[in-house]
């Protein structure tokens, strides 16, 4: 049973590597190449990014509207949808076709994330199931970034690179599809840890939306921050470093949540993330951007790991909470690129957008703190 549970957790890793790391975040790595190939410009890229996050929001609202869903079916639809969008991007000629494709990819990503969480993390599960699952996002970012770098070294156009990503994602997704099987996975029993004090639902949903706004500007524009500057680090390798930080960080934040509790772990996580987001606004050198990539990469999926654990603790009497949190996250992600595009158009610099995002993360960190009770009189 323990071996089966571990295999299911690894299948969850692959699900999110494809549905999120490839289907959702590979666009960030390919964004500069698509601009160079005149498929997009900066404004068109912002529209495509926001369309993706709008799709993510619609997928989350769809999941919140009706319950229960069959988790394995959600995973299949999300995974196949992500693969179809990757393949279609290989023939998308311009912004008119890219925007709707990124919207559909966003819907597919939401179905995959929520579906995989419901499929794997119910009841008693393998002790490392949660960090293995969410670590798949970072793994997918890292693998897709390195595949893009390899394709660029061969002189590939962005359309060829999308095709390369689609083939690789299909190879990763096939074992996950087989693992889903016709029924819910068999899960192992483990002693349940004492639950951490829960955040009020409204505050949890609100700070999660701020976290979505706070990280997404870095996650959308990171490879562009060094464009035109001294090339001490290849811009695409910044994005690979982002994924490299994200993949193992889920284990760290999972353990910190168990030791510190939800509130303290979130405060630490969001505070570090705010610092990482702000760094390139203060100094856009290669070293600072690399440090920013590692800091934000090693915290943004930690936020998901901690917050979704809090949502699962409430799932018995609030079954829609994870979907509403995902919707709030999606709203923040829609606002981020649109604000960044507007501020960049006005100031010709990303610093104001990055500082706004860091401020949102700092506010989220404050919201995760407990309210002080007034002293008794």
* Full DSSP string of 39-64: S--HHHHHHHHHHHHHHHHHHHHHHH
Is 377 contained in some domain? Answer: no
Contact 372, 266 (CB under 8 A): no
Range of the domain at 277: 2-183+197-367
In a domain, 190, yes or no: no
Could you report the per-residue pLDDT of 68-114, keeping only the tens digit for each? 678 889 999 999 999 999 999 999 988 999 999 999 999 999 999 88
Low-confidence ranges of the chain (pLDDT < 70): 1-2, 66-68, 122-128, 182-198, 225-233, 313-319, 371-377
* CATH code of 213's domain: 1.20.1250.20
Centre a 10 Å sphere on the Cβ of residue 105 and count the other Cβ atoms it contains.
27
Task: Work out whether the CA dihedral 343, 26, 75, 118 comes out positive or negative.
Answer: negative
Flag whether 257 is in a domain: yes
Residue 230, SS3 per DSSP? coil
Residue 375 counted as domain residue: no
CA–CA distance, 18 with 33 (Å, rounded to integer): 21
Q: Is residue 220 in a domain?
A: yes
User: How many structural domains is the chain composed of?
Assistant: 1
In a domain, 122, yes or no: yes
Q: Can you say whether residue 232 is alpha, beta or left, with left for phi > 0 and alpha for psi between -120 and 50 degrees? A: alpha
Residue 118 contacts residue 71 (beta carbons within 8 Å): yes
What's residue 158's pLDDT? 94
Nearest Cα to Cα of residue 163 among 101, 100, 240, 89: 89
Alpha helices in 154-261 (DSSP H): 158-180, 201-221, 235-260
- Global pTM reads 0.84
* Residue 303 is assigned to a structural domain of this protein: yes
- Rounded distance, CA 91 to CA 265, Å? 44
- What is the model's pLDDT at position 374? 43
Distance, in Å, from the CA atom of 333 to the CA atom of 212, rounded to the nearest integer, reads: 5
Q: How far apart are CA 235 and CA 237, in angstroms?
A: 5
What residues have CB less than 8 Å from 96, skipping those under 6 apart?
none
Domain-embedded: residue 192? no
Structure token digits, residue 58? 């619609």
User: How much is the pLDDT for 67?
Assistant: 59
Cα pseudo-dihedral 180, 74, 311, 252, rounded to 10:
50
Beta-carbon contacts of 89 under 8 Å, excluding residues fewer than 6 positions away, are 98, 101, 159, 162, 166
Quick one: tokens of 343? Answer: 């501020």
> Is there a contact between 305 and 273 (Cβ–Cβ < 8 Å)?
no
Query: Within a 10 A sphere around the Cβ of 272, how many other Cβ atoms?
Result: 17
């Amino acid at each position: 049973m323990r071996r089966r549970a571990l295999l299911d957790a690894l299948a969850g890793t692959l699900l999110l590597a494809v549905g999120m790391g490839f289907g959702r975040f590979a666009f960030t790595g390919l964004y500069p190449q698509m601009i160079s190939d005149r498929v997009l410009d900066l404004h068109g890229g912002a529209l495509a990014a926001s369309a993706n996050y709008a799709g993510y929001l619609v997928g989350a609202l769809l999941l919140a509207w009706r319950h229960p869903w069959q988790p394995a079916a959600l995973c299949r639809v999300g995974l196949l949808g992500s693969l179809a969008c990757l393949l279609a991007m290989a023939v998308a000629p311009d912004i008119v076709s890219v925007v709707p494709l990124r919207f559909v990819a966003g819907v597919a990503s939401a179905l995959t994330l929520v579906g995989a969480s419901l499929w794997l993390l119910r009841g008693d599960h393998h002790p490392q199931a949660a960090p293995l699952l969410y670590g798949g996002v970072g793994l997918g970012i890292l693998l897709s970034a390195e595949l893009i770098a390899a394709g660029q070294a061969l002189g590939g156009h962005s359309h060829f690179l999308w095709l390369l990503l689609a083939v690789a994602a299909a190879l990763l997704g096939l074992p996950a599809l087989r693992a889903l099987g016709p029924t819910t996975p068999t899960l192992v029993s483990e002693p349940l840890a004492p639950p951490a004090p829960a955040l009020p639902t409204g505050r949890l949903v609100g700070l999660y939306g701020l976290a979505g706004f706070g990280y997404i500007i870095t996650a959308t524009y990171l490879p562009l921050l060094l464009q035109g500057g001294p090339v001490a680090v290849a811009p695409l390798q910044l994005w690979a470093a982002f994924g490299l930080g994200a993949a193992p960080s889920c284990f760290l934040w999972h353990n910190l949540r168990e030791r510190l509790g939800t509130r303290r772990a979130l405060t630490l996580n969001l505070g570090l993330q705010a610092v990482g987001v702000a760094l390139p606004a203060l100094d856009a050198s290669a070293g600072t951007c690399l440090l920013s990539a590692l800091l934000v990469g090693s915290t943004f999926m930690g936020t998901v790991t901690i917050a979704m654990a809090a949502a699962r603790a409430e799932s018995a009497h609030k079954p829609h909470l994870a979907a509403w949190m995902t919707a709030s996250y999606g709203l923040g992600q829609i606002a981020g690129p649109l604000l960044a595009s507007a501020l960049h158009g006005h100031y010709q610099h990303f610093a104001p957008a990055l500082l706004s995002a860091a401020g949102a993360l700092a506010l989220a960190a404050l919201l995760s703190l407990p309210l002080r009770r007034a002293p008794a009189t």
